[in-house]
Amino acid sequence: MDNVTPLGGDVYEIDTRMAGYSGITAGYLILGDRPCLVETGTSTSAPVVRDALASLGVGPDDLATVVVTHIHLDHAGGVGDIAGYFPSAEIVVHEKGARHLADPTRLMASAKMVWGDRLDTLFGTLSPTDASRIRALGDVGTVDLGNGRSLASHYSPGHAKHHVGLLDSLTGDLYVGDAAGVYLPETGDLRPASPPPDFDLEVALRSLGLFEALGPQRLLFSHYGPVDDVPATLERSAEELRVWVDLTRQARSDGLDLDHAVAMVRDRTRERYTALQADPATAERFELLSGAESNVGGIMHWLDRSGA
Ligand SMILES: [Zn+2]
């Protein structure tokens, strides 16, 4: 299938085609004795993911595990649907996110407040998953991939308080979710992902430090794809966060309201990103995943909360 890319080590990248876009949301299948899907994508992505798994020989009873890095709808919105398609799969998520997968009412209500009318077209609706099928992770945990291979989960808040990174014992791949920001493979751009309500700079930087200490061989971004140059990329993630926080802090101390702060930070960071000088479609995709409004809003929220 044209949305499945082999990455070596029995790992397959699946373009989950959020809202019909290509190249913005990735799920990953780790094949082997106990096939494991990392990230489901949105609810509307679920049939796309099911078909991709079928093309890799993973039928309804074959999927052992579904694990999500966090419960934002672009990563976990399809959990309920995928759990329905694959009745043998165990659903693995950090303990701070588990109850929202069992009962998505509050999560969907807050997403509706953020996205309004765009919610349905962008994400669809997260369906509930039977609580008995959900396994909650603590600060560390393990997913058995079979044959002595495993994924080790590491609690990595900052972007979201229910975020984990996942390290593959065989390949050294680290699934970074959104904790290292948003990477655009076409341009090599990297932009922070600092949305409200959980973003916290110190916590996010600590998670990046943890990722570095794990010594991964490769980073697998949910947005989007593999990156081999690990230390330089993680350093850049930290630098991006500092730049956005510094500018937002400045806007705030100049007394700008949110709209003006967003405009100022967007303007002052524009030249950092090739995608924003590229065609409007590329710029639009980048903005959808790591919007200046969401990033600056998240940083403002954190500054207000921390009294910094
Ligand atoms: Zn995301």
Cα 131 to middle of ligand 1, angstroms: 24
Cα 245 to middle of ligand 1, angstroms: 19
Cα 37 to middle of ligand 1, angstroms: 16
pLDDT at 289: 80
Cα 114 to middle of ligand 1, angstroms: 14
pLDDT tens profile 146-186: 999 999 999 999 999 999 999 999 999 999 999 999 999 98
Q: Which of 185-189, 240-244, 287-291 has the lowest mean pLDDT?
A: 287-291
**CA 79 – CA 290 distance, rounded (Å):** 22
Cα 259 to middle of ligand 1, angstroms: 23
Cα 254 to middle of ligand 1, angstroms: 30
Cα 223 to middle of ligand 1, angstroms: 7
pLDDT tops 90 at residue 245: yes
E strands in the chain: 4-8, 11-15, 26-30, 36-38, 65-67, 90-94, 134-137, 140-146, 149-155, 164-168, 173-177, 182-184, 189-191, 218-221, 225-227
Q: Which of 73-82, 184-193, 241-250 has the lowest mean pLDDT?
A: 184-193
pLDDT tops 70 at residue 308: no
For residue 183, the number of C-alpha atoms closer than 13 Å in the C-beta half-sphere is 24
Alpha helices in 146-220 (DSSP H): 201-213
Q: Is the pTM of this model over 0.75?
A: yes
pLDDT at 299: 97
Q: Which of 47-61, 116-130, 150-164, 272-286 has the lowest mean pLDDT?
A: 272-286
**C-beta of residue 39 within 8 angstroms of C-beta of residue 29:** no
Q: Which residue has the higher pLDDT, 8 or 285?
A: 8
pLDDT at 64: 98
Cα 147 to middle of ligand 1, angstroms: 31
Cα 182 to middle of ligand 1, angstroms: 8
pLDDT at 155: 98
Cα 197 to middle of ligand 1, angstroms: 14
Cα 305 to middle of ligand 1, angstroms: 23
Mean pLDDT of the chain: 96
Cα 34 to middle of ligand 1, angstroms: 26
**C-beta of residue 172 within 8 angstroms of C-beta of residue 216:** yes
Backbone angles phi, psi at 216, to 5 degrees: -65, 155
Residue with the two structure tokens 């996010």: 204
Cα 178 to middle of ligand 1, angstroms: 5
User: Which residue type sits at 5?
Assistant: T
Cα 267 to middle of ligand 1, angstroms: 23
pLDDT tens profile 75-120: 999 999 999 999 999 999 999 999 999 999 999 999 998 889 999 9
Cα 74 to middle of ligand 1, angstroms: 5
Cα 77 to middle of ligand 1, angstroms: 11
Q: Which residue has the higher pLDDT, 307 or 205?
A: 205
Cα 67 to middle of ligand 1, angstroms: 14
